[in-house]
Amino acid sequence: MRGNVKVYALTHKKYHVIADETYIPLQVGSAGKEDLGYLRDDVGENISAENRYFSELTGIYWVLKNVKNADIVGVCHYRRYPLNERGSIMSAADYERILKNYDIVTSKEIELPVPYIEGFAADHHSRDLDALRDTLRLYFNDYYDVFEKIIHEKKTYFGNIMCGSYELFRDYHSWLFDVLFKLKERIQDHLDDAEYDDYHRRVYGFLSEILLYTWVRKNGLKAFETKIGIIEEKTETRELKERLAGYVKKRDIDGAQQLFTKALQSRPDLLMAVSDITGELRLTMEILAAAGLEKEHKGKSMLDRENNLEKLITYVKEVNEAVKKNDADKINELDVSDEMLKVAKITLLSGK
């Protein structure tokens, strides 16, 4: 390694850029969008206009086709960064040191609750995974057996986060896009059907995560699997909480619930731990559920006492802790309604 390290932080929003020149902001899906002041993925050879289907991969394609003068190349997200052994965001020196002994840096394996094939079918359209299986079998057969084995296991990588030598980065992503463009020939026509919302239409981005895992396993690569540090909340999560706070301020529970439901229909990932890193969105859902029951039963209402969402979140945290400890005195002190107590117990039983 000769020391020229470039890691591109993929973003579709303005964000607080970290003070390390190793990380270069790259605006993905920038075609036709407001210029954020970063590098854009719609210049040079690019597929920026395909972002609604490829998600962050349009940025990765831009790196593959347009970055030439680097010894080590990588990609991460504007709020997700690989961490070194000390728990700090990796520096150029960290990448150089680690890649002397490893082939790539990537995320730790995710332990899935069910085999990948079952989880994909539950959250996405299984016909797209079936089409990928057929694509590998027909055109990339040397990877098919490994892929078939992996999708029946409970592990994968996430986020398309990886870094390696320029040559290895090029080799993997050239293979990846060869696969995805062959897959595109089989499935693109139905991605604009009514059953595909904006979230599920990003199918190439979702499937590429298991393809990275497949490529590493098939080629016997030594991967430095590290924790991914999340330095800020997802923009969509923060914006949703701000809008919900406005409804709560007006004590408009119906409006808040409708907004929440609509948001989750288009972005079911909002409640995932990697999106709702503070847990406040899940606590807000708990508040709305309890307030809705209180309104229905015409009992005492949290919102009669308080309409500040931040203060209500603090209150519900205390309620949940008291329920967890079965602390009757604290529950009485907090003046918890029967409806709030019911919702808190359900939350405790569900493990959320």
Q: Tell me the pLDDT tens digit for each residue of 188-206.
A: 999 999 999 888 999 999 9
Say which residue, 232 or 337, is predicted with more confidence: 337
Of 175, 210, 230, the last residue of a domain is: 230
- Contact indicator for 281, 240 with CB cutoff of 8 Å: yes
Q: At what angle do helices 126-139 and 141-150 cross, to 10 degrees?
A: 140
Q: Is the dihedral of CA 4, 10, 11, 17 positive or negative?
A: negative
Do 176 and 275 fall within a single domain? no
- Please say if the pLDDT value at position 1 is more than 50: no
How many domains would you assign to the chain? 2
pLDDT of residue 281: 83
List CB contacts of 139: < 8 A, sequence separation 6 or more. Answer: 179, 182
Co-location of 199 and 82 in the same domain: yes
Which helix (DSSP H) or strand (DSSP E) does residue 289 occupy? helix 280-297
What pLDDT is recorded for position 2?
A: 47
* Same-domain check for residues 12 and 28: yes
Using the 3D structure, point to which of 230, 259, 275 is the last residue of a domain.
Answer: 230
Tell whether 165 and 226 lie within a shared domain: yes
Same domain flag for 225 and 83: yes
pLDDT digits (tens, 9 = 90+) for 230-253: 776 677 777 888 899 999 999 998
Amino acid at 80: R
Percent of the chain with pLDDT over 90: 68
Structural contact between residues 26 and 43, judged by C-beta atoms closer than 8 angstroms: no
Distance CA 342, CA 126 (A): 36
Domain-terminating residue out of 186, 210, 230? 230
**57 within 8 A of 205, measured Cβ to Cβ:** yes
Instruction: Check pLDDT > 80 for residue 148.
Output: yes
Domain assignment of residue 245, given as a range: 235-350
Residues 251, 184 share a domain: no
Instruction: Tell me which amino acid residue 87 is.
Output: G
Q: Classify residue 197 by its DSSP letter.
A: -
